[in-house]
């Protein structure tokens, strides 16, 4: 499964993903987590100009591979790197570095236990962390090449290996570069979803949690739709124009 602005590693490297996607086989229940085989499917940013150096991991079970049990946001660089990348928000940067459940993507009741499993078991393997960094570099290089020169459509091999955990999208051909306008529209619509009133009377403003793509937030700020996302808060102010457009886009994208 892909997410706005993100694609599975298996989309571009299906055979390597089949060999190197990490899974954990738990023979006994652990910390509220049923026994089972849990796969950590990797998704990376499709923006060729973004150097976020992080991965979104969708955790699925071999017993029900279509259901996303947890979405984990993890970055292998230093807290200082992510603090600079997200414009000074050191608290959020620390969450990325230590691994955290992504607040805007699918989670299940098992997500907290899966996050603990990821931190206490998976991240104790330095070779796996290096593998994620290597996959990121490969994915970004492929994204930048395809942004410059369209790659030919190659039909998937019928005999390609597909051991669990394989992403259902891994058999598709290389997708075109995403539309930044559509990404910005989706981000603005999600800001409408998480909006809240801050303050009282004439001094009140409408804010929204800014756990979104930082490049998109920068572009929305340049268009005058939100306040400066570089301010060290976990929320961002929506301008009057931004509030109106966010409401329209939310209805357009997610309305009945």
Domain ranges of the chain: 6-152, 180-254
Q: Full-prediction pTM beyond 0.75? A: no
- The mean pLDDT value for 202-228 works out to 83
Cα 249 to Cα 76: distance, rounded to the nearest angstrom: 34
At 155-213, the pLDDT tens digits run 544 454 444 554 544 444 555 667 888 888 888 888 888 888 888 777 788 888 767 77
At 130-155, the pLDDT tens digits run 999 999 999 999 988 887 644 444 45
In CATH terms, 180-254 corresponds, of 2.20.25.90, 1.10.10.10, 1.10.620.20, 3.30.1360.70, to: 1.10.10.10
């Amino acid at each position: 499964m892909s997410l706005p602005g993100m694609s599975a590693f298996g989309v571009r490297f299906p055979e390597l993903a089949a060999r190197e996607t990490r899974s954990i086989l738990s023979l006994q229940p652990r910390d509220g987590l049923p026994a089972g085989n849990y796969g950590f499917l990797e998704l990376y940013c499709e923006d060729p100009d973004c150097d976020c150096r992080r991965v979104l991991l969708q955790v699925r079970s071999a017993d029900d591979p279509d259901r996303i049990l947890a979405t984990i946001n993890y970055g292998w660089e230093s807290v200082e790197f992510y603090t600079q990348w997200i414009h000074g928000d050191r608290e959020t940067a620390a969450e990325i570095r230590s691994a955290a459940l992504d607040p805007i993507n699918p989670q299940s009741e098992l997500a907290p236990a899966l996050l603990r499993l990821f931190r206490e078991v998976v991240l104790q393997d330095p070779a796996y962390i290096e593998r994620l960094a290597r996959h990121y570099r490969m994915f970004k290089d492929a994204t930048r090449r395809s942004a410059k020169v369209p790659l030919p459509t190659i039909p998937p091999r019928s005999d390609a290996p597909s051991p669990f955990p394989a992403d259902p999208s891994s058999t598709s051909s290389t997708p075109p570069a995403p539309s930044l306008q559509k990404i910005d529209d989706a981000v603005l619509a999600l800001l409408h979803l998480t909006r809240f009133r801050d303050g009282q009377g004439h001094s009140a403003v409408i804010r929204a949690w800014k756990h979104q793509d930082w490049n998109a937030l920068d572009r929305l700020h340049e268009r005058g739709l939100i306040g400066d996302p570089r301010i060290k808060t976990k929320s961002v102010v929506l301008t009057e124009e931004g509030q109106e457009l966010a409401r329209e886009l939310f209805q357009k994208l997610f309305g009945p």
